[in-house]
Amino acid sequence: MWAAAGVALVAAPWIVAAAVPGQQRYVLHILIFTGLYGALALSYDLVVGQVGSLSLAHPAFFGIGAYTAALLATEARWPFPAGLLAAVGLAGAAAFLVGFPAFRLAEHSFAIGTLGFAIVTQLVANNWVEFTKGPLCVTGIPRPEFPLPFGLTFRITVLPHFYWASLATLGLTALLYRRMTTFRLGRALNAVRENEPLAAAAGINPLKYRLLAFGVGAALAGGVGAVYAHYISVLCPGELTIGLTVNLLVMLFLGGVGSLRGVLIGAVLFTALPEVLRLAPTWRLVIYGLLLLVIVIRAPEGLDAMLRRAPGSGRRRLAA
């Protein structure tokens, strides 16, 4: 069952080509976006779902990664792997710098503090024209190239390659997410989320674990940003608006915050759904909005929790 799903995921480019010959590029594009959004949502969930800090700075880290990779590739001609590493490192480092003062703030102030950082980052991207090109956007970001031994290079050029790159990004992120959220590390993170004073009584340093989740989440977001920049090849400041936070929050909370499956369900649904709704262009946003409302009312803890409850809905009262 899982193996079949895996094979289908890897073979998706061919399946898509066979199923919708005319629309192949469009469908693959959506799938690539789904993969990248899934990875981004998972990295965000490390902070919001696992350690329970409502950070609104995630687009900033995504943007720092994207701009780092884009500028290094266009201005300094760095090869993709080096740019990717720089993006991951810089986004992670920025998170530690922001996190140290920000985590001194209590819950809501923390959200506002990180929101401030997100806005500042976007303003810098928009206005530091000499460096980021501002609203003119960074253009001509090359296709990712991997230098191989013997002077060879592997170049990602066609859409299916990008799809696999996106799938690999998602896979690696999911793997790291699982490592972070299970066993001892996951228990420590969740303990801090559930009850910070009690976690401290258990010998857990809450600040350390919050910073860890924040830093790793940001570093992953930076990596996703780098892949994203190389994929779309044009990077504009508009990519890092608060709108991205809203999208990610919708994926997290309607999918199932704090659960790998829930976040992935959210990412798939809310990347694909707006596209499917293009069938009814006039009513698209109305239907989207109504669906959000229905889900919030019917499944306030997220779709994942609803699915888990489905077999024996009699237990519902007890669990509450």
Partner 1 sequence: MPCSAARRAAGGAAWPRDPGHPGTRRSAGEKRVALFEVRGLTKRFLGVTAVDGVDLALEPGELVSLIGPNGSGKTTLFNCVTGYLTVDGGRVLFRGRDVTGAPPHRVARLGIGRTFQLVSVFPRLSVLENLLVFLQQHQEEDLMGRLLRTRRLRRLEAAAVDRARSLLDLVGLAGQADVPAGTLSYGQRKLLAFAATLMPDPDLVLLDEPAAAVNPTMINQMKDRILELHRRGKTILLVEHNMDVVMDISQRIVVLDHGQKIAEGPPEAIRRDPRVIEAYFGR
Among candidate residues 108, 315, 110, 114, the one with its CA nearest the CA of residue 221:
114
Write out the H or E segment, with its range, that includes residue 203. none
Min CB(229)–partner 1 separation in Å:
28
Tell me which of 4, 152, 310, 318 binds partner 1, using CB under 8 A: 318
Min CB(144)–partner 1 separation in Å:
27
Nearest residue (CB) to partner 1, 175 versus 246: 175
Tell me which of 39, 102, 212, 220 binds partner 1, using CB under 8 A: 212
Beta-bridged to residue 146, according to DSSP, are: 154
Nearest residue (CB) to partner 1, 25 versus 208: 208
**H-helix segments, the chain:** 2-10, 12-19, 24-45, 58-74, 80-102, 107-127, 129-132, 159-181, 183-194, 196-201, 206-232, 242-255, 260-276, 284-298, 303-309, 316-319
- Cβ atoms of 63 and 240 closer than 8 Å: yes
Close Cβ partners of 316 (under 8 Å, ≥ 6 residues apart): 309
Nearest residue (CB) to partner 1, 71 versus 212: 212
Tell me which of 194, 242, 246, 296 binds partner 1, using CB under 8 A: 194
Q: Give the phi and the psi of residue 257 in degrees, each rounded to 5.
A: -65, 140
Query: Applying CB under 8 A, does 114 fall inside the site for partner 1?
Result: no
Nearest residue (CB) to partner 1, 203 versus 281: 203
Min CB(61)–partner 1 separation in Å:
20
Segment near partner 1 (CB under 8 A); pick from 33-41, 83-91, 202-210, 283-291: 202-210
Min CB(181)–partner 1 separation in Å:
11
Beta-bridged to residue 145, according to DSSP, are: 155
Query: Applying CB under 8 A, does 100 fall inside the site for partner 1?
Result: no
| Cα-Cα end-to-end distance for the chain | 32
- Cβ atoms of 288 and 254 closer than 8 Å: no
What is the total residue count of the chain? 320
Query: Applying CB under 8 A, does 206 fall inside the site for partner 1?
Result: yes
How many whole angstroms separate alpha carbon 56 and alpha carbon 202? Answer: 29
Query: Applying CB under 8 A, does 190 fall inside the site for partner 1?
Result: yes
Tell me which of 104, 155, 179, 316 binds partner 1, using CB under 8 A: 179
Min CB(206)–partner 1 separation in Å:
7
Among candidate residues 74, 68, 70, 63, the one with its CA nearest the CA of residue 89:
68
Beta-bridged to residue 235, according to DSSP, are: 138
Tell me which of 187, 284, 308, 309 binds partner 1, using CB under 8 A: 187
Tell me which of 200, 273, 299, 307 binds partner 1, using CB under 8 A: 200
Query: Applying CB under 8 A, does 175 fall inside the site for partner 1?
Result: no
- Cβ atoms of 181 and 260 closer than 8 Å: yes
Query: Applying CB under 8 A, does 279 fall inside the site for partner 1?
Result: no
Q: Which residue has the tokens 């999208």?
A: 247
Nearest residue (CB) to partner 1, 109 versus 182: 182
Query: Applying CB under 8 A, does 51 fall inside the site for partner 1?
Result: no
Site residues, partner 1 (CB under 8 A): 179-180, 183-185, 187-188, 190-191, 194-195, 197-206, 212, 318-319
